Structures are given as C-alpha cells and as structure tokens.
Structure 1
Amino acid sequence: MQPTAPDFLDVDGIAIAVRHQTGKTPGIVWLGGYKSDMLGTKAEALADWADRTGRAFLRHDYSGHGESGGDFNEGTISTWLAQSLAVFRRYANGRQILVGSSMGAWIALRMVQQLRKAGDDRVAGLVLLAPAPDFTADLIEPTLTDAQRRDLADKGFFAEPSEYSDQPYIYTRALIEDGRDNLVMTGPIDTHCPVHVIQGLADPDVPHAHALKLVSHLPSDDVTLSLVPEGDHRLSRPQDLELLQRAVESLVERAG
C-alpha cells in the first residue's frame, strides 16, 4: 500500500505529520523509536495489515523526525509525549491498542498514565517492541564516558555513531534531564490493560535484562513476554513482523 500524504497537526507551533486510516475499533496507534519515522518497516507492515482487515491505524512523526517540523535536538520525552497525546486526542476514536517501539514504548507507557489521569481509559492494550522506557537514566547515564560528560557540560550534547544512519545520534543534556522527570520503572506500572512485550535476545542496544526489569514492574497476570532468540533491536525480519501482527491481533480480540 502506497502511503498517502500526511496531515499536519499544529502542536505548540510545530507541524506534526500524521497519517490516519479510519476503520474498525479497537484501532492501532503506532509510536516509533528515537530517530525513526512512521514509514519504517514495522509501521508499514501494520499499516498494510490494518488496510487488509479494515482496522483503524494512526501514526505520526515526533518533532525533528521524518516529515514533522521542529529541531530534533530540541526534543525531549516530555515534548514528544505532549505531541503524541495531542495526536491521539485529535484523531483516535474509541478504544485503541498502543504499539510502541524502543523509545515509543516509553512514550506509550507515559501516555497511559497521562490519559488515565485525565479520565480517558480508551487504551485497551499495549504491544511493546524492544522497549526502552527510562533509557536515558538506565542505559545512557550509567555508561557515559568522561569525554561524553564533558561534552554534555560544555556543549549541552554528545554525539555517538549510529548503526542505522550515516548521521550520528545526538543526546542532549535537556533530553537526559527531562528523562528523569518521566521515569516509569520506579514502582508498579498500572496500565489497566493487557501488555505484550517482544524482545530480541540479540539486541545490541536494549539488553533483554531491561525488558525483564520492565515486566517486573507490570501486573503479571496481564503480561505476555515473547523473547526472540536471534532478534535484534529492529525486530523487522519477516518472522518478527509476523509475531508483531499476532500480538496485535490477540489484543484486538481480547478488547472485543
């Protein structure tokens, strides 16, 4: 299916690119990872599945990502969370399954917290792929080198080569400091909905111990954990996409 041109939603003066396929509920909401966009392999596979099955599907690019406006280096978890909530409230109708990849899993968990605080209980399930909640505090800060700490102090950021792009990953002091205000794995995470976690055991970016830590904070009777023996961080092989589709279908069936 050829992606249509995006709509744009103004969120705090930034044009956020959105693609929305209308259809049956519960719908699917895609939340991408750090420096990824809504036209990646997993998002496109879900869009094709939603099109075939007549299911509503909603996705967007965070500011500084993909087709959205804004400066990537000015983004924080709070910024991207606010944009995701604005898109959800504007476009999502009825119950929804949130599918979060890597950083998108952190955004999804924070969305559930914020939506429930506002009295919105429409999230019917979560599928979290290579989940990286709290990654700034748990995965970045403990491994900072002296040079990276100096860069953060002196320049306000440090750069790191990326396996997925010619451009380096930029991590800003603002991102790291804001991450501390958005931590979710500080106690029980009450999602009030079933959660399916999919984690590759060959993931070089988010170790499977991080997924196990997340699961330990979730209510065990509503959590499914799928460990993929040779799965990497992308989880974009055909068998990975099939597992993702089955996980989404299962939650759709449970939600009725």
Structure 2
Amino acid sequence: MIELKRIYYTNDLAYSTNDLSKKGWTILLTKKGMYLEKSEVEIILIEYQMIFQYVEQNVLNQIIIVEMNLFCEPSSNYIRKIDLKINQELSSLIQLLFTRFETKDRTYLVEPAIEMIIRKVFRLNISTLKEYFEIFKLIAFIKENLSENLSVSDLAEFMHMSKPTLNRFCLNKINTVPQDLINDIKITLAKNLLESTDEKIFEIGERAGFFNASAFTIFFKRSTGLSPKEYRQNYFDSWKEHSLTT
C-alpha cells in the first residue's frame, strides 16, 4: 500500500517550500488548463526541495502535491525530477481529480483516488523507475563506503555488471562515468564538511577516501581551483560578509 503523508492543492500557485529541511520525493500533478477546463495534465516524481523551482519555471495553472513515505535518497547533483508517462486512462483520472478539487466535492474520496492513480502510474513506469532506483542504490553505496577508496571495479561488482555495462548505464542515466560520479560525491562531501564542521583537513580527506592530506589537497584543488583551507576560509569570509549586510 502507498503511504500518503499530506496532500496539497492550489489553483493560485502561491505554493512555497516552507520547510527547507525536508528531503525525499513527492508526487507532483499539474494542470495547465483553467478552472474546470479539460487541458494538459502531467505527473512527475520530484525531490521536495525542487518543487518551488519547478513551479516557478513552468506555466502551470493548478498543482496537487502529494507527500509520501518514499524512502530513497535523491542525488541533488544528478537526479531531482523523474518524468512519468501516463496513458489515456490516467489522464482522465487526473482530470477528474482536479475537477473534484476545483468544485470542492466532499463526497469524492481523494486519498483512495490518489493512491490508485499513483499505483497505476508506478506500474506503467516500472522499468524506468527500476533503473532510476538502481542509480540511487549505487549513489548510496558510494556514500556509505567512500572512506574505503572505492574503485570502478568495486561499483561494478556491487551492481553485478561488467565495467563497460556500468559505464553505459551511468552515461545513459546521469550523463557521467562511474569514476566521475565517485569524484563528484567526494567533492560534495568534502565541501559540506569544510563548510559545516571544524574537522581537520586530513580528517576530512580520510572520510573522502584519501589516506593523506597531501593527496586530498591535490585532488580538491584540481577539482575546485582552491585548496581545502582556502575553500573553508572563503566560505566563512562570505558568510560573515552576508551576515553583516542583512
């Protein structure tokens, strides 16, 4: 059974993400037609913090946001939105759902209707979703084992793929090769730790899979143009300047 947490509807697009700490995936249903007009509808799986940006960038007249207990960690560097295909049956069901919201029909059981729509959409998109969830699984594996100095061979073994197959899989889904994926996750972790902790440089390097501070510094500077020490100093200087002007 699909577990729904909260359903949010608006026809004035005054939606804003009030809780920036929220993470995870939501279902976003959109309609481009005006009140009671039958028009184009879509459904996407989107990372929570991307909703406001997506709504701002697209000409939408109405939206339904469905928060769910869907536990898979997104990768903000790669995948934050998954377009889901719908057929005529689903289009009609989504149109009906919007109509019930528009007319405030309290006899219409919204949650069972949404659960049915999501279940049908997931079934229709099962092969696509499986591939994306494989990517999430791969990213989670890298993050959990980053201090072990992972190699592409380690990833291929974990995914039960040959290295060429893994290479094609990553290029197809996230437009990058496995080694670059590892490096990007290392850099993201290092930046976060430099910004949010007072850990020593060598300690951060160890957590990112480097066995000495020198190798970590060379890698970090090659990727960012700054040494870890310079990056941390620049970050805090910018933060102080921002605090003084606000």
What's the TM-score bracket when you normalise by the shorter of the two chains?
under 0.3
By relative contact order (CA 8 Å, sep 6+), the higher-ranking structure is: 1
**TM-score, structure 2 as length reference:** 0.24
Q: Which has the higher strand share?
A: 1
Larger Rg: 2
TM-score (normalised: structure 1): 0.23
